[in-house]
Amino acid sequence: MKPRARELGLRPGQFAPGKLNAITDVAGVLVGQVTKLEGEGIRSGVTAILPHGGNLYAERVPAGLAVINGYGKLAGATQLQELGELETPIVLTNTLAVGRAVEALVDWTLERNPQALSVNAVVGETNDGRLNDIRARGIVDEDVLAALNSARDGAVEEGSVGAGTGTVAFGWKGGIGTSSRKLPAALGGFTVGALVQSNYGGALVMDGVPMGRALGKFYLKEHADKGDADGSVMVVIATDAPLSDRNLGRLALRSMAGLARTGAAFSDGSGDYAIAFSTHPQVRRPAPEGMVADWPNEKMSPLFVAVAEAVEEAVLNSLLRATTVESRDPATGKKRKVEAIDIEAVRAVLSAHRPE
């Protein structure tokens, strides 16, 4: 098993992680994944995040959205922004599978809600066409349904799995990563968890160490290499803090600070999206006894710090846990390969920058 960031001594920020250091440290959150490896070309998958295990259409959760660069196909985004709530799980997949994922998510929701006449299916994506034969449309309804139906709590598989199977980040193999932060009781005692689908570029920084420059792979190297900049990233944030959709939007926006700390280029061809939701039972819609007061604005700052830290570490975990992936280009017949980051090289750089 490849190491996570903390096993290499990387500990971004100041707050401690939850027990699992995963989005599932937020009680009730479930994650399901399907990894699709078929023939020499299909290298893709699906990751589903459920805010709770009940009927989400009947017990909706408040949510907020932040977009830095909108080069993406986030289905359901406008209604999410308008109403500030989720009525379906969040599904992540590849760019050309969004339509099929929406259909499957609608079917899954309608089956559980015979009275429903409208469903706002939320499906995010990144483009894994560098490794995946994306035009073959290898993701089908059954894959999405399998991810939804297999969702569970506990540890979350990371790296080249689920919606991260074919992704590339900073020129190395990207993937799914997760992390969490637990605030001390004096600051509310809440948990913030993040899950990322990393597929973006820039100059990789690991907990302040300029790893990309040290290993010779970064955006604008010699003012010519543009290949490691474009891409996209989906960030999903869960918290048990009783936040309104307004403050969840603020929380989602601050998650981008975590991406910035990893060296993100936020380039023209990158889609940078974050969705944040609250699982607190008193802010569900409809709430058992009506809506509770929003967590005060003046007490939001610790949550802002926590989300940036969790997102930063989730990205590092996505890279460190990823494995090398190979495929064949259907157009040219040539083999394609994206290497996982060299763990021993990372150790050496960290040792040089942080001598004992």
| Cβ pair 195, 345 in contact under 8 A | no
The three state secondary structure string of 333-351 is CCEEEECCCCHHHHHHHHH
C-alpha torsion 265→270→271→275, nearest 10: -20
Strands of 156-289, DSSP E: 168-169, 172-173, 175-182, 191-199, 231-239, 270-278
Residue 9: strand, helix, or coil: coil
Angle at 326 between CA 339 and CA 225, to 5 degrees: 50
Q: Which of 147, 119, 179, 161 is nearest to 313 (CA)?
A: 179
Cis peptide bond N-terminal to 242, omega within 30 = no
Which residues belong to the active site?
232, 270, 272
Bridge-based pairing state of the strands 172-173 and 30-38: unpaired
**C-alpha distance from residue 50 to each of 37, 253, 349 (Å):** 24, 21, 38
DSSP calls for 268-336? TTEEEEEEEEE--GGGSBS-BTBPPPPPPGGG-HHHHHHHHHHHHHHHHHHHHT---EEEE-TTT--EE
